[in-house]
C-alpha cells in the first residue's frame, strides 16, 4: 500500500450496514450524503476516522457512517472528543451535535473545546427545535415559539450560535444549509482542512416539528437575494444579479453598491468582523449570512499537550518506574 | 540567642516508646509544614509513624479565630503503631484559639507548649475569650511551657536585613527546632529541605535555618523542659527500603505503575477538588512517564475526557471527591454500557453536598456501589492506608483492563493527607498484565466475550474493523437493539462479568482466631485503629478477631465461612452504617452490629474498644 495512491473511495464506502432511521424528508439525510461524499472525494481513510456524537436526532449520525463511531451522552461529546484527540492525535475526529446538545445541555463543553482549539471538526445541526423529545423549543428558537412546553410562546432570547462560538474564541466558524449540497461541500472541505477546532452550523430542516423554519431565506427561489455568502478574499456581494453589497460603518453592517463592498477577511487578528456579520439577520432588511465567519490559526491543545510530554521526556529521559517508586529520601531497615 | 542565657547542666535524656504531638495554630502559621517536617525527620530516624493533618477548608481563615485553627498530629514510635494516637502527649499551641480548641484532648499531665507572644488582649478577643486561659486555671494539671516565640525569633534574627514580616514567618521553624530538641531529632533533614525550598531566595534559607537552630538551642540552654526524650528507631519493621509517603502521592505513583504494567499510556481527566487535587498535581509532574493530564472544565468533562482516552486505547483515569462523583454518574453509566476500562478515584470527604471538604468520611460507599441509573454494576475497591495505596491503585488498573470495565477506587481525606513509612516493593515482584488489542477483522463481535466475560478492545485506526459503540443498548455485534431478550441477556452479562471478578480474589485473612465472640470488620482508612483495637482486646483476653475488606464490590469469597465463626460482627465505619447494611442484605444469617461515626474525624481507639466491651458485657 505504502507506495501506491490511496484507494479511490466512493460515498458507498462510508455508508454503514445500518438502516437510516430519520423521519422521511429530514434534512439530516442530505447532510449525511454530503459528508460521505466529501470524505470519499477527500480520500479520507475510514479506519482513521472517528465520528463522535452526543444525544439527539443528529447524534445518531455515527451509526450510519462506516467509520469508527462513538454515540455518547447528552452534551458531552466535546469532552469525549477532547480526550480521544489528545490521546490519539493520529485520528481524524468529527463531532456531530445539535442545537440542544451543544448550546443547551452541553454548552459548557462546547465553549471549552473551542477555547482549547482541539483539532476536530464540529458539525452542529441547527433546526431550532428539540426533535427527539418530540418538539419542545430549543435555545436557538426565536422568542414567541409556541410548542407543547411553551403554550403561550417562549420568552427567553435565543442564542445566536455563531456569535456564541466566536465569543468562545473559535478559530474556524462557518454556516451552511442542508439543502445546498454544493455550498455545504465547500464548507466541509474548508472546515476539515482547518487546523484547530472547526465549528460549522448547518441549518437543518425538521419536517415534523419545525418544518421549513428557514424558508424565508433558504427557499431556492429567494436564496440568492436573501442570503449572503462570506468567502475569503471576495467582496461581500449578493443578489441574483450580484447587485447588492455590504460594508462596515460605525460598528454596523450597512448596504452599499457592489463596487463599494467590503472584501471579506475572516483571518484578521480579532473576530469582530465575523461577529458583526453573524448578527446580520437581526438587522431589518438584511440577508442571512452563510459561509466562513472566522478562519484563524492559534495554539492547539492536543498538539501542545503532547509536545509537553515529548519535551519532558527529552529533558529527563523516558521515565522509569523504579526511579519513581524509589524517589526522595529512602532508608534501609 | 541572647548572651545572658545561663549555661546549664546536661538535662537527662529519657527513652520513650511512643509519643503523640499535636501542632496547632492559625492556618497561615505554617502548621502543616511544621508537622510534615517533623514527620519526614522522624521517618528518616527510623520511627514508625502515623499522621493526622486537620485543617479548615478556608485557605487563610481569619487569623486567631477558632474556625481558623489548623492542626497536625503525629504519633511516632520505636515499635509498630497503627494510628496517629487518641490523645496528644504534647500540644503546641501557637495562639489562644489553638489552645482552647485542642486542650480538652491533651492527655492529663501532658506537656503544653504555648507561644505567649500571641496571648495579648486582642488575641484573646479574636478567640472569643474573656479571660486568659493561661491564668484562669484552665491549664492546671498540665506541664505548661511558656515561650514568647515571636520575641525569641525577633531576637534570633535581629542581625538579618529581611522584613520583620518575613522574620515573623520563621516562627514555625523555631517551634519545630524546640520540638526537635525535645525529642532528639536531627536538624539536617529540615536544613536541607529549607535550602532546597527557598533556593531562589537565599536570605529566607538563612533566616529559617537560623530560626530552627535557635529553637533547638533554646531547648538546650533555657531549661524550658525538665528533660528531653529519645524515641529509638523501630526494630520491628520488616526489612527493606523505606520512604515516607502521603496517600495521594502513593496513589498517583500506583496509578502510573498500573498503566505501565498494562503497557498503556495513562491519561487523567480531572477537575480540582479537595482533597483529591494533589493527585492531579502529582500526575501533572510525571510527564516524562508519558502521563497526560487534562484539567477539564468540570467534573463531567473530566471523566468524559478519560473515557475518550480509553476509547483511543489509553488507560483513562479521573480523580475526584464526593460531589464530583455525583456529577460523573451519567458518564460512569456510559463506560459501563460501552465496556471500556476506566479508573475513577474518589478521595472521600465529609458530606452531604459540599459538606466538610477537609474532613474525613467513608460515606460514598453506597454512591460507588449503587449510585447510577439502570442496573450498572462496577467494581469498587478501597485503599486502607498511604502504604497500601500503591498496590490498590495497581489492582484497580488490573481489573479495569482485564474486565473492560470502569472501576471505582476509594480513598479518603485521612489517607490522602496522612503520611507513613512505605516499604518499597521489589520491582520484579510487580506482575505485568499487558493489554492485547483485538485486530482480527474476521471476528467482529464487538461485544463478544472472553473467558472472563470481557469484550475485545478494538482500537480506532485498525483497518477493516470500523464499528460503532454508544450508550444505546446494543447486541453482541455492537448494533443498536431494543430487543427485549437482548436487553435481559446483556444486563445479565454485564452483571456476571463484575460478580465473577470475586472468583479471582483472595479470601480475606483473619487476624486472630477463626472463631470467637466478636469479628471486627472494617474497610478503608479505619485499618490502623482497628488493628490497635484488636491488639488491646487480645491483651485483655477477649475473643476478638479482625478482617479488613479491600474489595467492596464484588465482595471477596469466603466471607460466609468467616462470619460463621463469630457471634457478632462489629462494623465500625465513618458513615451511618453503609457497609453494615450492604452485608446484612448479602448475608442474612449473621449478627452485624454497626458502629457509625460522622464527626469528620477518624475513630479513636477507645471509642471502638468501648463498643467491643459493651458487646461482650
Residues A85-124: pLDDT tens digits?
999 999 999 999 999 999 999 999 999 999 999 999 999 9
User: What gap in Å lies between CA A165 and CA A176, rounded to an integer?
Assistant: 15
The secondary structure of residue B526, as a DSSP letter, is: G
If one compares B490 and B237, the residue with the highest pLDDT of the two is: B490
Contact B413, B227 (CB under 8 A): no
Question: Exposed (0-12), middle (13-18) or buried (19+): which is A220, by Cβ within 10 Å?
Answer: exposed
Average pLDDT of the residues in B117-129: 94
DSSP count for chain B of H helices, then E strands: 20, 22
Partner A contacted by B561 (CB < 8 A): no
**Is the pLDDT assigned to residue B544 strictly greater than 70?**
yes
What tens digit of pLDDT does each residue of A226-285 get? 999 999 999 999 999 999 999 999 999 999 999 999 999 999 999 999 999 999 988 999
User: What gap in Å lies between CA A43 and CA A29, rounded to an integer?
Assistant: 21
Contact B533, B609 (CB under 8 A): yes
- Cβ-count burial B292-327 (b if 16+ within 10 Å, e if not): bbbbbbbbbbbbbbbbbbbbbbbbbbbbbbbbbbbb
Partner A contacted by B316 (CB < 8 A): yes
Contact flag A313-B290 (C-beta cutoff 8 Å) = yes
Chain B CB contacts of A319 below 8 Å: 256, 286, 288-290
User: What gap in Å lies between CA B135 and CA B131, rounded to an integer?
Assistant: 8
Question: Exposed (0-12), middle (13-18) or buried (19+): which is A181, by Cβ within 10 Å?
Answer: middle
Chain B CB contacts of A108 below 8 Å: 297-298, 301
Contact B306, A72 (CB under 8 A): no
Domains of chain A: 11-213+300-308 (3.40.50.970)
Percentages of chain B per state (helix, strand, coil), in multiples of 5: 40, 20, 40
The alpha carbon of residue B540 is apart from the nearest alpha carbon of chain A, in Å, by 31
User: What gap in Å lies between CA A235 and CA A241, rounded to an integer?
Assistant: 14
Who's near B149: CB < 8 A, 6+ residues apart? B94, B115, B117, B171, B174, B175
Contact flag A83-B308 (C-beta cutoff 8 Å) = yes
What pLDDT, on a 0 to 100 scale, did the predictor assign at position A5? 67
Partner A contacted by B12 (CB < 8 A): no
The three three-digit cell numbers of residue B333, written as one number:
453509566
What pLDDT, on a 0 to 100 scale, did the predictor assign at position A6? 65
What pLDDT, on a 0 to 100 scale, did the predictor assign at position B228? 86
Average pLDDT of the residues in A51-58: 97
Average pLDDT of the residues in B310-317: 98
**Is the pLDDT assigned to residue B510 strictly greater than 50?**
yes
- CA-closest candidate to residue A136, choices A209, A213, A64: A209
Cβ atoms within 10 Å of B365's Cβ, excluding its own? 27
**Is the pLDDT assigned to residue B6 strictly greater than 90?**
no
**Is the pLDDT assigned to residue B208 strictly greater than 60?**
yes
The secondary structure of residue A63, as a DSSP letter, is: G
Chain A CB contacts of B238 below 8 Å: 333
Contact flag B243-A326 (C-beta cutoff 8 Å) = yes
**Is the pLDDT assigned to residue B28 strictly greater than 80?**
no
**Is the pLDDT assigned to residue B342 strictly greater than 50?**
yes
What pLDDT, on a 0 to 100 scale, did the predictor assign at position B165? 92
The secondary structure of residue B394, as a DSSP letter, is: H
Question: What is the total residue count of chain A?
Answer: 333
The alpha carbon of residue B40 is apart from the nearest alpha carbon of chain A, in Å, by 9
What pLDDT, on a 0 to 100 scale, did the predictor assign at position B454? 98
Percent of the residues in chain B that have a pLDDT greater than 90, as a whole number: 90
The alpha carbon of residue B343 is apart from the nearest alpha carbon of chain A, in Å, by 14
Determine which helix (DSSP H) or strand (DSSP E) holds B569, and give its type and residue range: strand B566-573
Tell me the count of A-B CB pairs closer than 8 A.
214
What tens digit of pLDDT does each residue of A187-205 get? 999 999 999 999 999 999 9
Q: What is the mean pLDDT of chain A?
A: 96
User: What gap in Å lies between CA B318 and CA B305, rounded to an integer?
Assistant: 9
Residue A333: pLDDT band with limits 50, 70, 90: confident
Residue of A nearest to B468 (CA): A69
The alpha carbon of residue A260 is apart from the nearest alpha carbon of chain B, in Å, by 45
The alpha carbon of residue B123 is apart from the nearest alpha carbon of chain A, in Å, by 39
B13-230 matches B243-426 in fold: no
Q: Of B215-219, B286-290, B387-391, give the lowest mean pLDDT range.
A: B215-219
Residue that is written with C-alpha cell 523516558 in the block: A318
Partner B contacted by A299 (CB < 8 A): no
CA distances from B84 to B22, B101, B380, B579 (A): 10, 18, 27, 24
What pLDDT, on a 0 to 100 scale, did the predictor assign at position A233? 98
What tens digit of pLDDT does each residue of B46-67 get? 999 999 988 888 877 788 999 8
What tens digit of pLDDT does each residue of B218-254 get? 987 777 787 888 999 888 888 999 999 999 999 999 9
For domain B13-230, the CATH architecture is: 3-Layer(aba) Sandwich (3.40)
User: What gap in Å lies between CA A184 and CA A165, rounded to an integer?
Assistant: 19
Residue B15: pLDDT band with limits 50, 70, 90: confident
Contact flag A315-B468 (C-beta cutoff 8 Å) = no
Partner B contacted by A118 (CB < 8 A): no
Contact B7, B195 (CB under 8 A): no
- CA-closest candidate to residue B459, choices B435, B433, B434, B437: B437
Give the DSSP per-residue string, B570-616. EEEESSSSHHHHHHHHH-TTS-EEEEE--SSSPPPHHHHHHHHHHHH
What pLDDT, on a 0 to 100 scale, did the predictor assign at position B2? 37
What pLDDT, on a 0 to 100 scale, did the predictor assign at position B10? 62
Contact flag B305-A325 (C-beta cutoff 8 Å) = no
Residue B326: pLDDT band with limits 50, 70, 90: very high
The alpha carbon of residue B479 is apart from the nearest alpha carbon of chain A, in Å, by 8
The alpha carbon of residue A181 is apart from the nearest alpha carbon of chain B, in Å, by 26
What tens digit of pLDDT does each residue of A154-182 get? 999 999 999 999 999 999 999 999 999 99
Percentages of chain A per state (helix, strand, coil), in multiples of 5: 35, 20, 40
What pLDDT, on a 0 to 100 scale, did the predictor assign at position A319? 95
Which B residues in the span 22-61 are in contact with A, Cβ-Cβ below 8 Å? 40, 43-44, 46
Average pLDDT of the residues in B462-481: 96
Residue B8: pLDDT band with limits 50, 70, 90: very low
Q: Of B220-229, B292-301, B477-486, B509-518, give the lowest mean pLDDT range.
A: B220-229
ipTM of the complex: 0.97
CA distances from A282 to A51, A249, B431 (A): 33, 16, 65
Q: Where are the beta strands (DSSP E) in B298-357?
A: 315-320, 342-348
Average pLDDT of the residues in B2-28: 73
Which A residues in the span 77-116 are in contact with B, Cβ-Cβ below 8 Å? 78-88, 90-91, 108-109, 111-112
Residue B593: pLDDT band with limits 50, 70, 90: very high
**Is the pLDDT assigned to residue B596 strictly greater than 80?**
yes
The three three-digit cell numbers of residue B114, written as one number:
504555648
Domain B516-616 CATH assignment equals 3.40.1160.10: no
Domain limits, chain B: 13-230, 243-426, 516-616
Contact flag B308-A80 (C-beta cutoff 8 Å) = yes
What pLDDT, on a 0 to 100 scale, did the predictor assign at position A328? 85
Contact flag B469-A63 (C-beta cutoff 8 Å) = no
Phi, psi of A16 (to 5 degrees): -80, 175
Contact flag A88-B244 (C-beta cutoff 8 Å) = no
Partner B contacted by A68 (CB < 8 A): yes
Contact flag B463-A325 (C-beta cutoff 8 Å) = no
CATH topology assigned to domain B243-426:
Rossmann fold (3.40.50)
What pLDDT, on a 0 to 100 scale, did the predictor assign at position A4? 62
Partner B contacted by A329 (CB < 8 A): yes
Amino acid at each position: 500500500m505504502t507506495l501506491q495512491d490511496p484507494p479511490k473511495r466512493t460515498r458507498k464506502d462510508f455508508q454503514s450496514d445500518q438502516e437510516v432511521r430519520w423521519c422521511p424528508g429530514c434534512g439530516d439525510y442530505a447532510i449525511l450524503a454530503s459528508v460521505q461524499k466529501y470524505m470519499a472525494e477527500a480520500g479520507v481513510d475510514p479506519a482513521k476516522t472517528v465520528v463522535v456524537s452526543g444525544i439527539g436526532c443528529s447524534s445518531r449520525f455515527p451509526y450510519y457512517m462506516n467509520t469508527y463511531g462513538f454515540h455518547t451522552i447528552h452534551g458531552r461529546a466535546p469532552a469525549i472528543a477532547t480526550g480521544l484527540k489528545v490521546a490519539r492525535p493520529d485520528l481524524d475526529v468529527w463531532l456531530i451535535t445539535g442545537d440542544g446538545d451543544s448550546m443547551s445541555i452541553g454548552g459548557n463543553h462546547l465553549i471549552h473545546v473551542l477555547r482549547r482549539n482541539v483539532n476536530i471538526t464540529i458539525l452542529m445541526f441547527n433546526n431550532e427545535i428539540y426533535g427527539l423529545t418530540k418538539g419542545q423549543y430549543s435555545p436557538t428558537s426565536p422568542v414567541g415559539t409556541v410548542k407543547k412546553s411553551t403554550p403561550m410562546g417562549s420568552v427567553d432570547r435565543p442564542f445566536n450560535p455563531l456569535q456564541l462560538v466566536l465569543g468562545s474564541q473559535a478559530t474556524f466558524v462557518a454556516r451552511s444549509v442542508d439543502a445546498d449540497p454544493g455550498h455545504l461541500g465547500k464548507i466541509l472541505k474548508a472546515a476539515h482542512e482547518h487546523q484547530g477546532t472547526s465549528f460549522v452550523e448547518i441549518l437543518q430542516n425538521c419536517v415534523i416539528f419545525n418544518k421549513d423554519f428557514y424558508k424565508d431565506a433558504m427557499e431556492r427561489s429567494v436564496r440568492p437575494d436573501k442570503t449572503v455568502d462570506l468567502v475569503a478574499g471576495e467582496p461581500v456581494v449578493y443578489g441574483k444579479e450580484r447587485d447588492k453589497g455590504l460594508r462596515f460603518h460605525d460598528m454596523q453592517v450597512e448596504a452599499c453598491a457592489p463596487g463599494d463592498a467590503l472584501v471579506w477577511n475572516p483571518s484578521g487578528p480579532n473576530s469582530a468582523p465575523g461577529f458583526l456579520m453573524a448578527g446580520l439577520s437581526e438587522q431589518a432588511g438584511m440577508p442571512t449570512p452563510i459561509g466562513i465567519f472566522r478562519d484563524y490559526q492559534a495554539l492547539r491543545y492536543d498538539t501542545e499537550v503532547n509536545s509537553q510530554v515529548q519535551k519532558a521526556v527529552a529533558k529527563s529521559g523516558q521515565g522509569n518506574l523504579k526511579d519513581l517508586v524509589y524517589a526522595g529520601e529512602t532508608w534501609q531497615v | 540567642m541572647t548572651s545572658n542565657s545561663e549555661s546549664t547542666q546536661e538535662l537527662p535524656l529519657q527513652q520513650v516508646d511512643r509519643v503523640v504531638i499535636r501542632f496547632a495554630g492559625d492556618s497561615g502559621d505554617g502548621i502543616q509544614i511544621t508537622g510534615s517536617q517533623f514527620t519526614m525527620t522522624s521517618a528518616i530516624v527510623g520511627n514508625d509513624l502515623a499522621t493526622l493533618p486537620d485543617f479548615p477548608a478556608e485557605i487563610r481563615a481569619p487569623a486567631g479565630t477558632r474556625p481558623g485553627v489548623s492542626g497536625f498530629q503525629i504519633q511516632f514510635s520505636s515499635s509498630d503503631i497503627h494510628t496517629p494516637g487518641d490523645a496528644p502527649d504534647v500540644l503546641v499551641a501557637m495562639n489562644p484559639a489553638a489552645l482552647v480548641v485542642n486542650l480538652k484532648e491533651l492527655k492529663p499531665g501532658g506537656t503544653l507548649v504555648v507561644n505567649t507572644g500571641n496571648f495579648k488582649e486582642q488575641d484573646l478577643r479574636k478567640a472569643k475569650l474573656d479571660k486568659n486561659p493561661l491564668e484562669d486555671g484552665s491549664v492546671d494539671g498540665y506541664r505548661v511551657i511558656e515561650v514568647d516565640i515571636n520575641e525569641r525569633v525577633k531576637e534570633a534574627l535581629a542581625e538579618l536585613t529581611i522584613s520583620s514580616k518575613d522574620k515573623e514567618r520563621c516562627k514555625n521553624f523555631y517551634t519545630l527546632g524546640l520540638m526537635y530538641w525535645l525529642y532528639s531529632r536531627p536538624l539536617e533533614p529540615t536544613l536541607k529541605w529549607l535550602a532546597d525550598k527557598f533556593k531562589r531566595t537565599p536570605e529566607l534559607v538563612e533566616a529559617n535555618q537560623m530560626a530552627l537552630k535557635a529553637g533547638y538551642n533554646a531547648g538546650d540552654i533555657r531549661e524550658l523542659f525538665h528533660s528531653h526524650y529519645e524515641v529509638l528507631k523501630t526494630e520491628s519493621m520488616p526489612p527493606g527500603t523505606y520512604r515516607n509517603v502521603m496517600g495521594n502521592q502513593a496513589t498517583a505513583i500506583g496509578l502510573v505503575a498500573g498503566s505501565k504494567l498494562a503497557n498503556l499510556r495513562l491519561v487523567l481527566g480531572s477537575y480540582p477538588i479537595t482533597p483529591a487535587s494533589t493527585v492531579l498535581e502529582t500526575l501533572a509532574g510525571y510527564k516524562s512517564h508519558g502521563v497526560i493530564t487534562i484539567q477539564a472544565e468540570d467534573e463531567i468533562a473530566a471523566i468524559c475526557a478519560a473515557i475518550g482516552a480509553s476509547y483511543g486505547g489509553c488507560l483513562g483515569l479521573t480523580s475526584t471527591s464526593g460531589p464530583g462523583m455525583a456529577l460523573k454518574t451519567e458518564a460512569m453509566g456510559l463506560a459501563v454500557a460501552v465496556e471500556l476500562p476506566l479508573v475513577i478515584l474518589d478521595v472521600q470527604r465529609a458530606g452531604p453536598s459540599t459538606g466538610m471538604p477537609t474532613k474525613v468520611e467513608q460515606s460514598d460507599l453506597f454512591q460507588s456501589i449503587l449510585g447510577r441509573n439502570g442496573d450498572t454494576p462496577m467494581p469498587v475497591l478501597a485503599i486502607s492506608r498511604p502504604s497500601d495505596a500503591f498496590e490498590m491503585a495497581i489492582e484497580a488498573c488490573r481489573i479495569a483492563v482485564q474486565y473492560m470495565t470502569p472501576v471505582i477506587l476509594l480513598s479518603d481525606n485521612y489517607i490522602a493527607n496522612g503520611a507513613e513509612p512505605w516499604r518499597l516493593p521489589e520491582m520484579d515482584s510487580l506482575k505485568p498484565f499487558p493489554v492485547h488489542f483485538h485486530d482480527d477483522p474476521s471476528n467482529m463481535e464487538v461485544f463478544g466475550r472472553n473467558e472472563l466475560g470481557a469484550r475485545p478492545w478494538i482500537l480506532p485506526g485498525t483497518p477493516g474493523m470500523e464499528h460503532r459503540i454508544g450508550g444505546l443498548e446494543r447486541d453482541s455485534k455492537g448494533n443498536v437493539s431494543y430487543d427485549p431478550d437482548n436487553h435481559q441477556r446483556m444486563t445479565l452479562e454485564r452483571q456476571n462479568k463484575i460478580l465473577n471478578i470475586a472468583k479471582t480474589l483472595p479470601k480475606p485473612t483473619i487476624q486472630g482466631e477463626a472463631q470467637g465472640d466478636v469479628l471486627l470488620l472494617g474497610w478503608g482508612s479505619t485499618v490502623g485503629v482497628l488493628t490497635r483495637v484488636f491488639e488491646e482486646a487480645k491483651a485483655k483476653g477477649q475473643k476478638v478477631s479482625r478482617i479488613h475488606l479491600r474489595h467492596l464490590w464484588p465482595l471477596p469469597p469466603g466471607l460466609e465461612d468467616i462470619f460463621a465463626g463469630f457471634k457478632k460482627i462489629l462494623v465500625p465505619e465513618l458513615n451511618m452504617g453503609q457497609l453494615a447494611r450492604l452485608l446484612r442484605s448479602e448475608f442474612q444469617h449473621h449478627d452485624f452490629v454497626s458502629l457509625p461515626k460522622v464527626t469528620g474525624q477518624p475513630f479513636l481507639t477507645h471509642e471502638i474498644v468501648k463498643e467491643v466491651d459493651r458487646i461482650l458485657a
